[in-house]
Amino acid sequence: MRKLIGQGLAFGVTMMVMLTMACGGDGISKKELAESNATMVANLAAAVQGINPTLPAGTTPAAANPTPKSDLKGTGTMPTFASDVSHGAWKIQGTSRLPENPVVAGWLSRLQNPKPELWKSFPNIRNLDVPEFERKNCRNITNEAGAADIKCEVPDGMEYGTYSAPYCFAHPCDIPVGPWEYRYISGDYSFLGTECRGDMSKGCMLLLINVMDQAYTWRGQDVDNGFTLRGRYFNGDKLEWGVWGLISHGAANMLNMPTEAHPGEVLNSGDPGNSGGNCGTPNGCKSVDVTLVVHAGDSIIAVAKTTVTK
């Protein structure tokens, strides 16, 4: 970019020299034309250096225009909550459906606080930092980076399915969640009246878990210029592992922490910039606002919230 601007500056200077030579007798003195050209050259040079251009006396530079705030258009409201089963860093509220779903109540009670430093990789492969994350049928392979690796099945993990960015082109938009699947969303959102708007410091994460054997689409919700990932979870009885890993790994990327696609294969290095430009800065976010929604089709069972930092 700097090279292109520099080329434009050289071209502009050449054109001004030509104009000076050609227009000296059209009612503008050579002195006035030279002063005007000097101001234009200074302004172009200022653009290259990234500083304010020279302005006429008595004027002040205009403030930079920030990105306009998103106008979220989500519809609907959350149901009434009947219980509070919070623990650790998790604020968890259950609807009247939670007692009817003891499996969900069980894994929510075992859900650990997010640990982004422990989940450098997505929970679809073995995690050497979390040895209790079960792995089996391991075998030696050559990974995509051409390095020797060990591939294992992770029966309690998550599939890295399909992703899309930017997500949600119409406003409002629909959010489909497949049967026995998750949908991960990062970005400003409005979901059933719950809103999260990020800034240069805080990022937003929404995770929907559909524990029903039928797909469901949440109509009339909204996401502004977000990222989404969907896939299957492998073990609904032990979802505390996949959910813990997914939220922790997603937060690690958003917080600009070192992450890997595979052992030894860098996903986010944190230097020179954040992969994905989370929170709109090369340094990533300072915190991540997480909302986890567990539902069976159109029926919400529980909602859990927490904030993740480094």
Cα–Cα distance list, 296 to 77, 108, 178, 213 (Å): 16, 15, 11, 8
| pLDDT score at 35 | 55
Tell me the residue ranges of DSSP E strands in the chain.
83-84, 91-94, 136-142, 148-153, 162-167, 173-177, 181-191, 194-196, 202-210, 216-232, 259-262, 265-268, 287-296, 299-309
Rounded Cα distance, 49 and 27, in Å? 34
Whether 44 and 9 have beta carbons less than 8 Å apart is answered as yes
Rounded Cα distance, 179 and 233, in Å? 10
| Amino acid present at 205 | M
Rounded Cα distance, 239 and 301, in Å? 14
The whole-model pTM stands at 0.77
pLDDT, one tens digit per residue, over 170-211 is: 889 999 999 999 999 999 999 999 999 999 899 999 999 999
Mean pLDDT of the chain: 83
Average pLDDT estimate for 119-125 = 96
| Phi, then psi, of 61 in degrees rounded to 5 | -70, 145
What is residue 68's DSSP assignment? P
Whether 121 and 133 have beta carbons less than 8 Å apart is answered as no
Whether 259 and 249 have beta carbons less than 8 Å apart is answered as yes
In the chain, what percentage of residues exceed pLDDT 70? 77
Rounded Cα distance, 195 and 30, in Å? 61
Whether 118 and 248 have beta carbons less than 8 Å apart is answered as yes
Greater model confidence, 228 or 75: 228
Q: Predicted confidence band at 213 (pLDDT cuts at 50, 70, 90)?
A: very high
Report helix, strand or coil for 205: strand
Question: Burial, 31: exposed, middle or buried (Cβ in 10 Å; 0-12, 13-18, 19+)?
Answer: exposed
Q: Any idea of the CA torsion for 241, 143, 254, 196, to the nearest 10 degrees?
A: -60
Q: Are strands 216-232 and 162-167 parallel, antiparallel or unpaired?
A: antiparallel
Rounded Cα distance, 77 and 75, in Å? 7
Residues 6+ apart with CB under 8 A from 137: 152, 153
Average pLDDT estimate for 129-133 = 97
pLDDT, one tens digit per residue, over 251-283 is: 999 999 999 987 778 889 887 788 888 998 889
Other CB atoms within a 10 A radius of the CB of residue 298 amount to: 12
Domain boundaries, the chain: 2-49, 83-309
